[in-house]
Amino acid sequence: MKLPVCSVCQFTYNEEERVPLMLQCGHCFCKECLAQMFARCTDHTLLCPRCRQPTKVGNSVETLHKNFGMLSLIRRAPSECRADEDSDEEEDEQDDVDEWLGGGGGIYGSSRLAASPRWSSASCSGIPVDLGSHIMRLVKPLGTGPRAGQDVWSGTLSGPGGCRHKVAVKRIDAAAGMELEWVQAKIENLRRAAMWCHNVCAVYGACKKDGKLCIVMDRYQNSVQSMMQQNEGRLTLEQILRYDCCL
């Protein structure tokens, strides 16, 4: 069993600086990451990196409640978990490579999302979701991209514990010789940058499946492009002020 990690910094929770603290939305992150976020805010309000809901905080993140359920899980975890953690990650990475190379399954069916443990996001219970252990299902097409070979699908991620998450999947034709690790590194940078943006949907990660590069993210209602199309190719002043800091 792997110990739970903070979905922002990817460090294992502990009972000290990485103690899991809960926001009002129910998602939880380590005290160190929340303290860094709190140091940047000016109105004592923290935006959840997962769902963007605000949480009012007093003079310190110490006022937030601890996730005692997760602390109990950490205390009960066998001591050998930490020793075996590195070897488990190596096995997971090899499984990911096999999945990318082996393929299998129809493009419209279900597939095991090939992603390393760093591609994670908080679940409803506050424990990070390992995308590699979830089943991705494409439900229906939502539209096509501006270039040939691009489309967007609605989908779901189903976990072994019965959890279910609605997601959007952007699919792009994978060019010959594409370096998947380079693409994943770029998307990881995007994920970390967008984490602090209130008007940007959360990015889960990416995988290569059936010749397509799949970028998995939260469902979103609109995009800057669609809003510009609704207003003769321009944004209103209010929209510019709202989205400028995120862009």
Q: What share of the chain in percent tops pLDDT 70?
A: 68
- The amino acid at residue 159 is G
Look at residue 165 and tell me if it is in a domain.
yes
Q: Which two tokens stand for residue 115?
A: 């992603």
Asked if pLDDT for residue 104 goes beyond 70, the answer is: no
Find, among 180, 189, 187, the residue nearest to 209 by Cα: 180
The range of the structural domain enclosing residue 69 comes to 20-76
| Strands (DSSP E) found in 36-177 | 45-47, 54-56, 65-66, 110-112, 120-122, 128-130, 135-144, 150-158, 164-173
Report the pLDDT averaged over residues 202-229: 77
Is residue 195 domain-shared with residue 108, that is, in the same domain? yes
Q: Spell out a b/e string for 161-182, using b for 16 or more CB atoms within 10 Å of the CB, else e.
A: eeeebebbbbbbebeeeeebee
- What one-letter code names the amino acid at 118? R
Contact yes or no for 151/136 (Cβ under 8 A): no
Can you list the positions of beta strands (E) in 13-134? Answer: 20-22, 28-30, 45-47, 54-56, 65-66, 110-112, 120-122, 128-130
In the chain, the amino acid numbered 134 is H
* Residue 71's CATH number: 3.30.40.10
Q: With CA atoms as reference, report the closest residue to 224 among 209, 241, 243, 196.
A: 243
Q: What percent of the chain has pLDDT over 90?
A: 4
Pair 48, 121 in one domain:
no
Beta bridge pairs of residue 209: 212
**Domain presence at residue 115:** yes
pLDDT at 40: 85
- Same domain? 142 vs 180: yes
| 42: region left, alpha or beta (phi > 0 left; psi from -120 to 50 alpha) | alpha
In a domain, 137, yes or no: yes
Using an 8 Å Cβ cutoff, are 150 and 172 in contact? yes
Are 157 and 53 in the same domain?
A: no
User: Is 41 within a domain?
Assistant: yes
**Total-model pTM:** 0.49
Alpha-carbon distance of 77 to 28, in angstroms, equals: 19
Q: Is 7 among the domain residues?
A: no
Give the β-pairing of 212-218 and 120-122: unpaired
3, part of any domain: no
Confidence of residue 197 (pLDDT cuts 50, 70, 90): low
pLDDT, tens digit, for every residue of 118-164?
Answer: 334 444 444 445 566 778 888 999 888 778 888 989 988 887 767 77
Quick: pLDDT tens for 25-71: 888 899 999 998 888 887 888 888 888 888 988 888 988 988 887 78
Out of 39-53, 101-115, 124-138, 180-194, least confident range: 101-115
Number of compact structural domains in the chain: 2
Spatial contact of 125 and 190, defined as CB atoms under 8 Å apart: no
Q: Are residues 42 and 135 in the same domain?
A: no
